[in-house]
Amino acid sequence: MSTQARVAILGFGLTGRIAALMLAERYQISVFEQAKQGTESSAGSVAAAMLAPLAESVICDEALALQGLESMKLWPQLLAKLESPVFFQQQGSLIVAHGQDRGDLVSFQQRLKPLKDHSAEVVNGAQIAQLEPELSGVFHQGLYLPCEGQLDNQAFYQSSAATLTKQGVEINYGVHCDAAQKAQLSQAYDWVIDCRGLGAKATCYGLRGVRGEVARIYAPEVTLTRPVRLMHPRYPIYIAPKPDHQFVIGATEIESQDNGEITVRSTLELLSAAYSVHRGFAEARVLSLLAGLRPAFKDNHPKIEQQGNVISINGLYRHGYLLAPLIVKQALSKELL
Ligand SMILES: Cc1cc2nc3c(=O)[nH]c(=O)nc-3n(C[C@H](O)[C@H](O)[C@H](O)COP(=O)(O)OP(=O)(O)OC[C@H]3O[C@@H](n4cnc5c(N)ncnc54)[C@H](O)[C@@H]3O)c2cc1C
């Protein structure tokens, strides 16, 4: 393959950016993104960007969770390609429950799948206070999942766009690619990588959206050093601490294609549950309340498809940050890497 081969990437969300970063040094790349510059319409920009293979093993099969563990290892290499540093941590996550919800914690623990050498550690109140001093006296039971991590997706979006632009990648914003345009691009380019997420729904059999809502808040009175999940019978939430006292509180999961604004009910549930974890959230400032649609297939597994010179990567569901580095690498490895 000549180094001058031309690659079109459709969609500049999470997978599109990862594909561009993996290919930019070897190919001439053009990106086509439907959102206008400075606006976002991707699930990846809404997400909490937690890397949680062990916690997610409760709702996915073991093979997928193991892929997640492999995939996490690729993030530092990807982030090293970027011009400005992006917050990435692997300091584990903490699972807690209020006394009356102990049953939910036990049930969660029982459903965790063993992932090679990685397992959950049962922690008591003193150990919770050691891990997260500001939760001292609030929780007396929990689980610590040392293998887990997270990153700052907003910084990743900004830094990847700046880096790729500097590398000469042509990013065309405000271009909606439908099936006809995709066919045209496959004539004009050596390769087309379709990373349109839910935007590919019309021609991607079985693809559906799974609604998720999050709050991003600024809470100068709260210091947490790692993601914290609250087990609750009705409002299970996570709190992912990002740099500068920003926190992503999420996420609802609703089987709906509705991508309208976050509802009052979800807002109340997310913020009340967060307040029950740490009283310092009372005076926090709400920076954004967002909703997005996770692209998913029936089995909630990602799918790579190739037709001629068109490679499609989709169905990352609620595991895009966890799985995309590995899945995109697999998709590109056969022909392009
Ligand atoms: C609330 C929420 C929380 C989440 N939290 C996590 C988490 O903590 N950890 C985790 O691993 N995953 C998480 N996810 C999942 C993750 O965000 C998705 O799996 C991932 O973003 C999917 O990547 P994608 O590139 O396929 O789609 P997207 O990120 O949605 O990107 C698709 C891009 O294609 C563009 N596009 C669409 N149609 C067209 C078109 N016709 N022409 C041109 N461009 C088009 C879109 O504008 C968008 O920019 C979360 C998702 C949500 C919604």
pLDDT in tens, 127-163: 999 999 999 999 999 999 999 999 999 999 999 999 9
Ligand 1 mean position, distance from CA 201 (Å): 13
Q: What are phi and psi of 209, to 5 degrees?
A: -105, 140
HSE (CB half, 13 Å, CA atoms) of 44?
Answer: 28
Tracing tokens 């001439």 back to the chain, one arrives at: 28
pLDDT in tens, 212-258: 999 999 999 999 999 999 999 888 899 999 999 999 999 999 999 99
- Please tell me the total number of residues recorded for the chain in this structure: 337
Ligand 1 mean position, distance from CA 317 (Å): 8
Question: Cβ(229)–Cβ(44) under 8 Å?
Answer: no
Q: Using a 6 Å cutoff on CB, does residue 67 contact ligand 1?
A: no
Q: Using a 6 Å cutoff on CB, does residue 34 contact ligand 1?
A: yes
Judged against a pLDDT cut of 80, whether residue 3 lies above it is answered with no
Distance CA 149, CA 160 (A): 20
Give the ligand 1 atom nearest the CA of 17: 25
Give the ligand 1 atom nearest the CA of 32: 43
In this prediction the pTM is 0.97
Question: Cβ(226)–Cβ(132) under 8 Å?
Answer: yes
Q: Using a 6 Å cutoff on CB, does residue 321 contact ligand 1?
A: yes
Q: Using a 6 Å cutoff on CB, does residue 92 contact ligand 1?
A: no
Q: Using a 6 Å cutoff on CB, does residue 328 contact ligand 1?
A: no
Ligand 1 mean position, distance from CA 43 (Å): 3
Give the ligand 1 atom nearest the CA of 238: 8
In testing the pocket of ligand 1, which one of 294, 297, 312, 323 has its CB within 8 Å of the most ligand atoms?
294
Question: Cβ(200)–Cβ(194) under 8 Å?
Answer: yes
Residue 337 banded pLDDT, cuts 50, 70, 90 = very high
User: Encoding tokens for residue 259?
Assistant: 């991508």
pLDDT in tens, 312-329: 999 999 999 999 999 999
Domains, the chain, in order of start with CATH, read 6-333 (3.30.9.10)
Distance CA 89, CA 79 (A): 12
Residue 1 banded pLDDT, cuts 50, 70, 90 = very low
Q: Using a 6 Å cutoff on CB, does residue 12 contact ligand 1?
A: yes
